[in-house]
Amino acid sequence: MSLLRAFIAIELPSHVCEAIQKQTTRLRQTLGNDIIRWVPTENMHLTLKFLGDTSTSHLDFLKQMLVREADLHPQFDMQLGGVGSFPNQRNPRLLWIGIHAPASLVSLQRGLESGASRLGYKPEERAFSPHLTIGRVRQTAGLSDLQKIRTVLGTLQLGNIAFSRVDSVHLFKSDLQPGAPVYTKLFSAPLAKA
């Protein structure tokens, strides 16, 4: 049985990725590469459901579920803006750009979570918090590095970065590589026309 690492996500148009890159340039320059492992622009996406190790023989079931759920949800617009960290501001481990979206996004995510659960995938225990990961704090970061991150995030104001139309959802596979993971789109399902 062949396994691949899979997830369901919303892909961002190139103009949105370019806007994020432009708006976060100062942040990237200030914090540098020694403290943060930055996500390459081409890898930015909004994860709706992480599936983990998935049998290739199970892909057809996932595709059918994706089509069924996409047909139930209309296309929508989302706004990207703001910057923050998980798990919180005091202990930054992951840097993100915020996403302000209509209830349609939450409804779509819940439908996909439910559909994946019916197929035997473990339900996510944490509440859905839409965000785009832009960087991960390196494990070698010390207390002074974390203080620097807190200071920079506390003073940086990132307002509205871009709007993006969401018209489809995608099944991706992830190949972990030393530099950065390589994501390959396996399947796309269009959302219903509004």
Domain ranges of the chain: 3-190
Sign of CA dihedral 73, 75, 81, 86: positive
pLDDT (0 to 100) of residue 2? 87
pTM: 0.90
The tens-digit pLDDT sequence of the chain (194 residues) is 688 999 999 999 999 999 999 988 888 999 988 999 999 888 889 999 999 999 999 899 999 999 999 999 999 999 998 888 998 888 899 999 999 878 999 999 999 999 999 999 999 888 898 999 999 999 888 899 999 999 988 888 777 888 999 999 999 999 887 777 889 999 999 999 87
Closest to 84 (Cα-Cα) out of 2, 157, 174, 34: 157
- Residues 70 and 169 sit within 8 Å (Cβ to Cβ): yes
Q: Measure the CA–CA gap between 145 and 142, rounded to whole angstroms.
A: 5
Task: List Cβ neighbours of 72 (8 Å cut-off, separation of 6 or more).
Answer: 111, 192
Please give the CATH architecture assigned to the domain spanning 3-190.
Answer: Alpha-Beta Complex (3.90)
Q: How far apart are the first and last CA of the chain?
A: 40
